[in-house]
Amino acid sequence: MCGIVGYTGNREAQEIILDCLKRLEYRGYDSAGLAMVSPGSLQLKKSMGEIAVLESNLGHMPGTTGIAHTRWATHGKPTTENAHPFLDCKGEYAVVHNGILTNYMGLKEELLKKGHEFTSETDSEIFAHLIEDAPGKDLKSKVLSVLKLVDGAYAIAVVEKGKNEIVAARNESPLVVGVGHDENFVASDVTALLKYTNEVIYLMDKEAVRITPDSIETFDLEGRAVKRDSQRVSWNLEDAERSGYPHFMLKEIFEQPRAIHESLLGRLESREEDSFFKSKFPSIKIIGCGTSYHAGLVGKYILEELSRIPTTTQISSEYRYSPVTESKPLVVCITQSGETADTLAAAKEARRRGCKTLAITNVLGSAITREADHVIYTRAGPEIGVAATKTFVTQLIALYLLGLELGTMSNTLSSERRRELIADMRSLPRVVQSVLNEASKIESLAENYKGAHSMFFIGRHINYPTSLEGALKTKEISYIHGEGYPAGELKHGPLALLSKDTPVIAICVRDHTYEKMLGNVREVSARDSPVLAIGSEGDQDLMKYAEEVFLVPRVDPLFSPVPIIVALQLLAYYLAMKKGCPIDKPRNIAKTVTVE
């Protein structure tokens, strides 16, 4: 998604800004641009495609204050004209914007009537022209008066000709301030700044900031000063580097044993005695988007099994359309970044409806943590690969922990069963490591399927959502159409699509669904589809049914999605690698989706 970077300090800004901008590349973008407060004028350069292209077109732009942007097209096509920053008619102000303005059409018409000339099709450009006309003696008051006019989501940063200052503001789009020595930053996320500082200030919605090389003022939209303390971020730059791996995705897949270990640290021995869990919840609703939604679908099985509280899972953007119910469910919001616009909106709606909310997120201090009544952090560390891997697995861990807590509170979990489950959870880092040790086997299996145009992933019970997530990974990065399906539903339709050219990945672990899964494997084999069965270690029979078999360590069926999804992540990765796809930056998709 769009990314913003701004720098003001005593050093030449060009290199620093480009460096920060490159660290936002993972968010996904189609064009980029930079505006510099140079002696005598505001200089501007934009280009389509990668930041490297922009860099080669730049030449030297002198100046110690500047703003830059990576754009992911929403309003207007991905073209150089539509790339940010935008200038006003006189070339005195430059603006970068992330988000979507809902009332821009009306504002744009008024500006056109006044004779302003627009160079792009974007909603963002109106900011530059509005600031040009705005009353106020300085940049800060001009920006504030413009923000009163616009509706919608925004994170903006503005510079003025001849001034070493940046004014920035946010509403429902992310923006952080980086605190340096004799220099300060703004950016869409912390990752961009880690090389220069790990001290940041998180702005709240409808707050603005003015930074100069040696000052930071935070204020609300009325211009009243608000005090925001800086926080130290424990991530370091190294976490955001590839450390010898060819792709971030592979690095992150291999970090999963560590991420699970970290997510469990100190949470198994002692219970969270939080008053939050004292309330009785009549039902639970889990909401999320994409991979987080799939974690939520697995969560339904986990929470119902452990706490016996009826649970449903819903896609965030659909939640607002569901009617208000008489009983108030606990609403569990899952978002990796904590900034996903659809999930944030749903969390706000849930609060409005009087529901208790619990967030599962990976980012400390992110927007969702301010919305929710209770937060469970996944401790996965920064995830750069666009395809979520370690955050999915740690979201499952958070759901298991939540299930244990709710189960204990509602007395549906005997202490003996609890002890067994905890022992099993402790084995998960090792179980995942064992799957990773077999990566080369999956790499050679991928060779069989790389020519496929379409693949099916089938499973039952808790591994039905696992099959959905496996299919999503395959779609996202290897561009092979993958479809996850409940194995029992095949005969009600999709069997018609199967042939020798559509491989089927069947999840056949040794649980109560095993016999039925074998039946489904026979069913698809009869249509000549090549079958790769993912089974439990020690299963000798599976080879009689499936063409290829990959075995994962045996765990309690409740935990089986963890080793299986790791195998499916590796399969998707190697398929993409063999097809030569851009794994860390798949086409058209963004890491953090901050628009609705």
Partner 1 sequence: MDYVIRSLVSNQITDIVMVVGYRKERIMSYFGDGDDFGAKITYVNQDKQLGNGHALIQARDHLDGDFLVLPGDSLMDARSVADLLSIGAGHGALVIESEMPAKYGVAVLDRNRISGVVDKSGEGASNVVLTGAYKLPASFLGVLERCVEGGDYNITHALNLSISQMKLEPIFGQGLWIDAVYPWDLLEVNHAALLNLTAQTAGKIEPDVLIHGEVSIGKGTTIRSGTTLYGPISIGSGCDIGPNVSIFSSTSIGDNVTIDPFTVVRNSLIMSDCSIGSHSLLSQSVLGYGVKVRSHLMASSADAYVNLEEEFYKVPNIGTLVGEDCAMGSGISIEPGTILGPKSKIMSGSRVTRNVPTGAIHS
Q: Would you say 243 or 279 has its CB closer to partner 1?
A: 243
| Cα separation values, 234 from 194, 299, 583, Å | 10, 29, 27
The backbone region for 131, taken as left when phi is positive above 0, alpha when psi lies in -120 to 50, beta otherwise, is: alpha
- 2 labelled catalytic: yes
According to CB under 8 A, which one of 40, 59, 266, 493 is a site residue for partner 1?
266
d(CA 537, CA 443) in angstroms, rounded, equals 19
Closest CA to 378 of 390, 368, 365: 390
What's the CA gap between 358 and 548, in Å, rounded?
A: 41
Q: Are 159 and 35 in contact (CB under 8 A)?
A: yes
Q: Is residue 254 close enough to count as binding partner 1 by CB under 8 A?
A: yes
Instruction: Indicate whether 128 belongs to the interface with partner 1 (CB under 8 A).
Output: no
Interaction of residue 195 with partner 1, rule CB under 8 A: no
CB closer to partner 1, 154 vs 377? 377
The active-site residue out of 45, 390, 475, 591 is 591
* Active-site residue flag, 161: no
Instruction: Decide: is 540 part of the binding site for partner 1 (CB under 8 A).
Output: no
* Cα–Cα distance measured from residue 435 to residue 389, given in angstroms and rounded to the nearest whole number: 14
Long-range contacts of 406-415 (CB under 8 A, 24+ apart): 406/277, 406/281, 406/303, 406/306, 406/307, 406/309, 407/306, 407/307, 407/308, 408/271, 409/277, 409/278, 409/307, 410/280, 410/307, 410/308, 410/309, 412/306, 412/307, 412/308, 413/306, 413/307
**Of 182, 222, 229, 238, which one interacts with partner 1 (CB under 8 A)?**
238
Is residue 247 involved in binding partner 1 (CB under 8 A)?
no
Question: Taking CB under 8 A as the rule, which mask of x and - marks residues 304-343 in contact with partner 1?
Answer: ----------------------------------------
Residue 264 is a binding residue for partner 1 (CB under 8 A): yes
| Stated length of the chain | 596
2, 289, 333, 508: the active-site residue: 2
H or E stretch at 427? helix 415-437
Q: Out of 11, 163, 258, 356, name the contact with partner 1 by CB under 8 A.
A: 258
Cα–Cα dist 351/243, whole Å: 42
Query: Min. distance of Cβ 239 from partner 1 in angstroms?
Result: 7
Minimal distance, residue 574 CB to partner 1, in Å: 14
Query: Contact between 584 and partner 1 (CB under 8 A)?
Result: no
Q: How would you label 113-140 residue by residue, b for 16+ Cβ within 10 Å and e otherwise?
A: eeebebebebbbbbbbbbbbebeeeebb
| 269 near partner 1 (CB under 8 A) | yes
Of the two residues 427 and 525, which places its CB atom closer to partner 1 in the complex? 427
Task: With contacts defined by CB under 8 A, name the span among 121-129, 153-161, 235-243, 519-527 that binds partner 1.
Answer: 235-243
Q: Do residues 94 and 167 make contact, with C-beta atoms less than 8 angstroms apart?
A: no
With contacts defined by CB under 8 A, how many residues of the chain interact with partner 1? 29
- What is the footprint of partner 1 within residues 424-483 (CB under 8 A)? 426-427, 429-430, 433-434, 436-437, 439
Which one of 52-60, 84-92, 233-241, 507-515 is the stretch in contact with partner 1 (CB under 8 A)?
233-241
Catalytic positions, please? 2, 591
**Contact residues for partner 1 (CB under 8 A)?**
236-239, 241, 243-245, 251, 254-255, 258, 261, 264-266, 268-270, 423, 426-427, 429-430, 433-434, 436-437, 439
